[in-house]
């Protein structure tokens, strides 16, 4: 208890000062938390404050201090920013949350084009993570051993304190094994004492079979209790399970966590109905780790301010988006968590709506800053990815994962929406067109195709990052 | 009965009150816990190190500094113990009043009042501190280890050297003295706070870890030890004793006894046991077939474990079966 207390003080000091953590202490703290939960069933008093400062004034003060350190370090050690500050004449010492707009935002393309220029001269790069590259060119992000260990340990603390993961649970990951999220999960989940099953994005029939397979391990529930995946792979699982007659009683799922893509209300409800488990929507991306967000019960995306500075910028002017306006999430991960690939004002390209001033937060995460859920990417029109997916996934006759393409034809009414359907039938088309009219979506037409190759542009989803196995699944006899 | 024996009896009574209060506190009150952390071996090492070092340090400090240190201990101990019972603010006020009274009593020369109030404060603090340890999951093995270490310490510091005796004289009659006292110098009747803590701690840990019977036995052992010491005083055979020298081995012996009596039960996984005893009869599965087994019977088949589990559910088996590829 005394040594844990000293570790907690050290952790709090690093959190408050923005200085580096002592890796051994944070790992030991995660272990202490696991032991505490195992002994008492709950964390002690004030555990919630371990991960985030509860007072907005303290939080603002901390953010300023952390941001200053991060900017100073980037200007001194990161080649891209050293040149940027020289070119623009901005004094790094003058940058604060109020004056951060003096730093030009970092576009995704800059990192994609020369990832090494973003690696700090003082860094010890250890692991390269590549984004999935659904747009065609992956982005490389280097991480140090320090970053990975700190992120894994703090993730373990969050899994225990926020997600409620316990030693009796069994966590399955159905995300690509090449992703940094997978790398971190296979370290953080075992730290909580829970069992970890890396299934990967295999054939959904095999994944369903593994989710249903009894495990009967000592101290664990008899089946997998938590599933972590992407919305498109969840969609593939839902499609396969519905088609093959699986029911919630075949599984032991208690929670489903998704992230990395847009989760629609329709898919969330369909998955919850099928697996009889709540679906939690999260937000993160390789480049901005460990900054992450979670969608609350009121459908806000809450992104904690402890791990990075978050802005919402107009996607065209890069000025701060006004309340009620749509903007791109722009993130500066703090130095105490990210010392290798350093990013200042990184434009993620993920669009959100700034909450209108009149909208007061009264959800369970009200203390954490929030925006709307992610709306998707810029499409060239007012239509967002979420608009299209909500429209299409509400129609159960369309196959999952949803595949579509928008084609600009110059029509003032908007682009044409090409959608993959099992059968291009007129009744289905009429239903979709009716819904487009009801929702007043800016589309000039809808076209059903039966082959994804017939789409006007390729539609890539994370569920396509399929991994192969030699398993077979699953016929009853 | 002499005044000295009445004093010794009063100290024994104070110890029993402490034990009783601590047991009642354990049953009724949950102390606030730190966000993370249990009482572990390193805590014992730190405690023993402090216990060995601090008396020497105190002997080289001015009495006012020693008084301040123990004043803080009593204040924090009282506040932490009383807060879950009467609320944080009231506990703060109560602790302040007690500490203020001790200081006033000292300067006013009310030595009996000082002794009685300080004894009362120490009883509450001892009940609270032992509960804090037990409620942060202090294990019997750790108490036994602490007791064993204290046997060595107390035998040397109290029995063979003059450290404890010098310390007693240093804190004699000052506010917040860490001694239960029935009479101050020149003929002091005192019991160290460490002795009180260990006499209280083991019954609590025994109750929590081994149950009520073990707790009652621990209290009975405490009482027998105190009775033996009292008899020693009454007969004139002893005039002082390092109490932990006999108490330590008694705690270790009780720990070893209850540990033997309470074997660690590793729960078996009944579904697996039943599956391994399953009788297939006519249902011998073909090669490559997965079977779902429940209560020793095949309740589903499939060409994968998930398919077999699902077949079991479709056959009306609500529990999660064991799956095996052919005969396990």
The pLDDT tens digits of the residues spanning B159-215 come to 788 887 888 888 888 899 898 887 776 777 888 888 999 999 999 999 999 999 999
- pLDDT confidence tier of residue B267, bands split at 50, 70 and 90: confident
Q: A interface mutation test: which of B30, B33, B35 has the most A CBs within 10 A?
A: B35
Residue A294 sits in the same domain as residue A431: no
In three-state secondary structure terms, A405 is: strand
Nearest to A276, CA basis, from A260, A259, A305, A252: A252
Q: Residue B87's CB: how many other CB atoms inside 10 A?
A: 12
- Chain B positions touching A29 (Cβ under 8 A) are 36
Does A303 lie in the same domain as A155? yes
Which CATH number fits the domain that encloses residue A435?
Answer: 3.30.300
Q: Quick check: is A474 in a domain?
A: no
Which tens digits make up the pLDDT trace of A393-423? 999 999 999 999 999 888 888 899 999 999 9
Query: Dihedrals φ, ψ of B138, to 5°?
Result: -65, 125
Between these two residues, A214 and A48, which has the higher pLDDT value? Answer: A214
CB A67 within 8 A of CB A101: no
Distance CA(B192)–CA(A266), nearest Å, equals 70
Asked if residue A475 is part of any domain, the answer here is: no
**pLDDT exceeds 70 at position B235:** yes
Which distant-in-sequence residues (6+ apart) come within 8 Å of A3 by Cβ?
Answer: A28, B40, B42, B43, B46
Q: How far is B40 from chain A (nearest CA, A)?
A: 6
User: Is the domain of A438 the same as that of A370?
Assistant: no
Confidence category of residue A52, pLDDT binned at 50, 70, 90: low
Separation CA A433–CA A440 (nearest Å): 10
Within a domain: A315: yes
**Cα distances (Å, whole numbers) of residue B179 to A23, A42, B115, B119, B192:** 43, 37, 9, 8, 5
A149 and A289 part of one domain = yes
Q: Cα B8 to the chain's mean position, in Å?
A: 25
| Cross-chain Cβ contact A32/B267 below 8 Å | no
Q: Quick one: A283 and A424 in the same domain?
A: no
Distance from C-alpha of B114 to C-alpha of B116, rounded to nearest angstrom: 6
Contact state of A40 with B311 under an 8 Å Cβ cutoff:
no
Question: Would you say residue A288 lies in a domain?
Answer: yes
pLDDT of the residue at B9:
85
A411 lies in some domain: yes
Among B209, B306, B328, pick the best mutation site for testing chain A contact (most A Cβ within 10 A). B306
Residue in this structure with the two tokens 């036995």, named with its chain if needed? B217
A189 and A209 co-located in one domain: yes
Where a domain ends, among A329, A353, A382?
Answer: A382
> A382, A414, A440 — which closes off a domain?
A382
Average pLDDT, chain A: 91
Whole-model pTM: value is 0.86
Q: Are residues A267 and A289 in the same domain?
A: yes
The partner residues of B300 in beta bridges, in order of sequence, read B292
Whether A373 and A445 map to the same domain: the answer is: no
Residue bearing tokens 């007072």 = A55
Verify that A144 and A213 share a domain, yes or no: yes
Q: Residues of A with CB below 8 A from B42's CB?
A: 2-3
Tokens of A38: 């195992």
Which residues make beta-bridge pairs with B298?
Answer: B293
**Together in a domain, A377 and A390:** no
In A, which residues are within 8 Å of B302 by CB distance? 474-477
Closest CA to A375 of A402, A403, A351: A351
Residue of A nearest to B312 (CA): A250
Q: Determine the distance in angstroms separating the CA of B43 from the nearest CA of chain A, rounded to an integer.
A: 6
Weakest-pLDDT range from A107-111, A313-317, A329-333, A366-370:
A366-370
Q: Residue A451: which domain range? A: 385-464
Per-residue pLDDT, averaged over A179-188, amounts to: 94
Quick check: A50 contacting B, CB < 8 Å?
yes
Strands B322-325 and B290-294: antiparallel
CATH of the domain at A371: 3.40.50.12780
B232 touches B243 (CB < 8 A):
no
Quote the CA–CA distance of B134 and A429 in Å, as a whole number: 69
A453 & A400 share domain: yes
User: Chain A residue closest to B46 (CA)?
Assistant: A2
Domains contained in chain A, number: 2
Q: Are A189 and A259 within one domain? A: yes
Give phi and psi for A411, each to the nearest 5.
-70, 130
**Phi, psi at residue A149, to the nearest 5°?**
-70, -40
Binary contact (A3, B137; C-beta < 8 A): no
pLDDT one-digit tens code per residue, B42-89: 889 988 888 888 888 888 888 888 899 999 999 999 999 999 999 999
* pLDDT tens-digit series, residues A96-108: 999 999 999 999 9
> What does the block give as tokens for A30?
């995660």
Tokens 């944070």 found at? A26
* Predicted local distance difference test score (pLDDT) of residue B265: 83
Does the distance separating the beta carbons of B313 and A39 come in below 8 Å? no
Which residue reads 């709506």 in tokens? A353
Query: Does pLDDT of B36 surpass 90?
Result: no
Q: Do A249 and B313 touch (CB under 8 A)?
A: yes
* pLDDT at A437 (0 to 100): 94
């Amino acid at each position: 208890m005394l040594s844990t207390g000293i570790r907690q003080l050290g952790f709090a000091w690093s959190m408050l000062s923005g200085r580096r953590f002592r890796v051994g202490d944070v790992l030991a703290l995660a272990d202490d938390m696991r032991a505490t939960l195992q002994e008492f069933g709950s964390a002690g008093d004030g555990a919630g404050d371990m991960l985030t400062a509860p007072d907005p004034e303290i939080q603002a003060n901390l953010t300023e201090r952390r941001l200053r350190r991060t900017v100073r370090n980037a200007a001194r050690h990161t080649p891209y920013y050293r040149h940027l500050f020289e070119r623009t004449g901005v004094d790094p010492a003058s940058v604060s949350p109020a004056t951060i707009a003096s730093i030009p935002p970092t576009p995704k393309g800059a990192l994609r084009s020369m990832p090494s220029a973003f690696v700090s001269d003082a860094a010890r790069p250890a692991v390269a993570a590549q984004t999935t590259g659904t747009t065609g060119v992956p982005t490389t992000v280097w991480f140090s051993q320090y970053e990975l260990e700190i992120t894994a340990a703090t993730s373990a603390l969050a899994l225990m304190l926020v997600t409620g993961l316990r030693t009796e649970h069994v966590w399955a990951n159905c995300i690509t094994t090449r992703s940094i999220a997978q790398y971190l999960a296979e370290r953080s989940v075992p730290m909580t004492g829970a069992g970890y099953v890396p299934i990967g994005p295999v054939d959904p029939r095999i994944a369903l079979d593994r989710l249903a397979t009894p495990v009967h391990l000592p101290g664990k529930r008899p089946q997998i209790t938590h599933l972590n995946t992407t919305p498109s792979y969840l969609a593939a699982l839902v499609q396969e399970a519905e088609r093959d007659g699986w029911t919630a009683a075949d599984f032991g799922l208690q929670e489903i966590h998704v992230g990395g893509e847009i989760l629609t209300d329709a898919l969330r409800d369909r998955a919850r109905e099928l697996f009889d488990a709540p679906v939690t929507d999260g937000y993160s991306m390789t480049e901005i780790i460990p900054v992450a967000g979670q969608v609350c019960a009121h459908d806000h995306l809450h992104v904690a301010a402890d791990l990075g500075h978050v802005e919402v910028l107009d996607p065209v002017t890069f000025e701060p988006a006004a309340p009620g306006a749509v903007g791109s999430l722009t993130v500066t991960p703090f130095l105490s968590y990210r010392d290798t690939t350093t990013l200042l004002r990184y434009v993620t390209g993920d669009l959100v709506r700034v909450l209108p001033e009149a909208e007061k937060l009264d959800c369970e995460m009200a203390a954490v800053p929030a925006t709307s859920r992610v709306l998707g990417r810029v499409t060239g029109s007012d239509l967002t990815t979420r608009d299209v997916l909500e429209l299409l996934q509400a129609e159960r006759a369309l196959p999952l994962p949803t595949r579509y393409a928008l084609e600009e034809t110059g029509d003032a009414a908007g682009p044409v929406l090409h959608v993959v359907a099992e059968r291009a039938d007129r009744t289905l088309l009429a239903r979709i067109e009716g819904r487009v009219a009801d929702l007043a979506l800016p589309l000039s037409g809808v076209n059903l195709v039966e082959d994804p190759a017939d789409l006007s542009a390729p539609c890539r989803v994370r569920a396509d990052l399929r991994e192969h196995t030699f398993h077979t699944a699953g016929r009853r006899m | 009965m002499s005044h000295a024996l009445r004093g010794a009896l009063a100290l024994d009574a104070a110890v029993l009150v402490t034990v009783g209060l601590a047991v009642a506190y354990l049953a009724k009150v949950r102390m606030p816990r730190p966000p993370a952390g249990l009482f572990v071996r390193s805590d014992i090492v730190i405690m023993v190190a402090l216990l060995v070092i601090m008396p020497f340090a105190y002997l080289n400090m001015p009495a006012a500094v020693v008084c301040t240190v123990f004043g803080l201990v009593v204040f924090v101990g009282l506040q932490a113990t009383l807060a879950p019972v009467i609320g944080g603010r009231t506990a703060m006020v109560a602790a302040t009043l007690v500490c203020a009274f001790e200081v006033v009593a000292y300067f006013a020369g009310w030595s009996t009042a000082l002794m009685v109030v300080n004894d009362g404060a120490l009883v509450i603090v001892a009940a609270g501190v032992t509960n804090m340890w037990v409620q942060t999951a202090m294990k019997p093995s750790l108490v036994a280890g602490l007791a064993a270490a204290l046997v060595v310490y107390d035998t040397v510091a109290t029995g063979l050297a003059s450290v404890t005796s010098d310390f007693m004289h240093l804190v004699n009659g000052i506010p917040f003295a860490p001694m239960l006292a029935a009479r101050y110098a020149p003929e002091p009747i005192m019991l160290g706070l460490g002795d009180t803590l260990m006499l209280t701690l083991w019954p609590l840990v025994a109750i929590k870890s081994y149950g009520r019977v073990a707790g009652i036995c621990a209290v009975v052992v405490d009482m027998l030890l105190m009775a033996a010491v009292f008899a020693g005083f009454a007969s004139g055979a002893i005039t002082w004793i390092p109490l932990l020298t006999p108490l330590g081995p008694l705690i270790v012996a009780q720990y070893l006894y209850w540990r033997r009596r309470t074997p660690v039960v590793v729960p078996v996984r009944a579904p697996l046991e039943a599956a391994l005893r399953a009788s297939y009869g006519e249902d011998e599965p073909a090669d490559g077939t997965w079977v779902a087994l429940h209560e020793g019977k095949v309740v589903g088949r499939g060409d994968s474990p998930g398919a077999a589990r699902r077949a079991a559910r479709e056959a009306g088996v609500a529990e999660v079966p064991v799956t095996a590829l052919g005969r396990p």
